[in-house]
Amino acid sequence: MPTVNGPELTVRLVDEAARLLGEQGPAGLSLRKLAAQAGVSTMPVYTLFGDKNGLLGAMHREGFRRLGAALDAVPHTDEPLTDLTELGLAYRRAALESPHLYGLMFGRIVPEFSPGADDRAAADLSYQPLVAGVARCQAAGVFTDGDPQRIALHLWAVSHGMVNLELNGQLPPIADPQQLYLEALDYAGLPFLT
C-alpha cells in the first residue's frame, strides 16, 4: 500500500485525476471526488494538493516529468538523425500513454488553469532534449547551420500537430497512425538536411 502522502500515492492520484478529467471534464474534477474515486480520505488529497489548482499543477508537472523521462531514455548513438527520430517516437508514446495529462500540458482542457513558474520550468526542461538532438545533427553535418532552437521548434510543431490529430481521432484513415507520424517527421526534417 502506498505511503500516505508519498510519491506513489501522488502518482496514483494524478492518474486518477487524469482519468476523471478525461471522463467528466473540468467540472467533474474535484479533490473530494478524487479522494472518493481513489478510495482514500480527503486529508492526504488536500495535504498533497491544497486545492484544485494545486492538483492541476501537480498533473501538469507529472505529465512533463513523464515526457522528460521518455525523452531522456532515448539513447545517443553514432546516428544523430536516427536518435532525433527516436525522440519523436518517444514523444508520441508519452502522449498516447497519458492523453489526458497531455491535453492539460499543451491545451486548454481546463481553461481556468494557468501554469505557475514551477510548471513552466518543468515544461522548458522537457524541450531541451529536442534542441540538443538538433545540435547533435548539426555537429555531425547532417543538418544545416542555424539556430537549433528554431529548428527544434519547427520539428516539435509538426510532431505536436500529428499527436493532437491522432489523440482527437482526426487523422485520415489512409495509413497506420505511426506510419503517418514517421512520414511527417521525415518531411519536417527535409528543409534542414545538408
Inter-residue contact 51 to 31 (CB < 8 Å): yes
Domain boundary among 11, 31, 50: 50
Inter-residue contact 47 to 5 (CB < 8 Å): yes
Which grid cell is 137? 545533427
CATH number for the domain harbouring residue 19: 1.10.10.60
Cut 0.85: pTM above it: yes
- Which of 126, 143, 59 lies closest to 87 in space, CA to CA? 126
Enclosing domain of residue 41 = 1-50
Which grid cell is 45? 488529497
Residues 72 and 166 occupy one common structural domain: yes
Residues 130 and 85 occupy one common structural domain: yes
Q: Report which residue type is found at 134.
A: V
> pLDDT of the chain along its 194 residues, tens only?
444 556 788 899 999 999 998 888 888 899 999 999 999 999 999 999 999 999 999 999 899 999 999 999 999 999 999 999 999 999 999 999 999 899 888 877 888 888 888 778 878 888 899 999 999 999 999 999 999 999 999 999 999 999 999 998 999 889 899 999 999 999 999 999 99
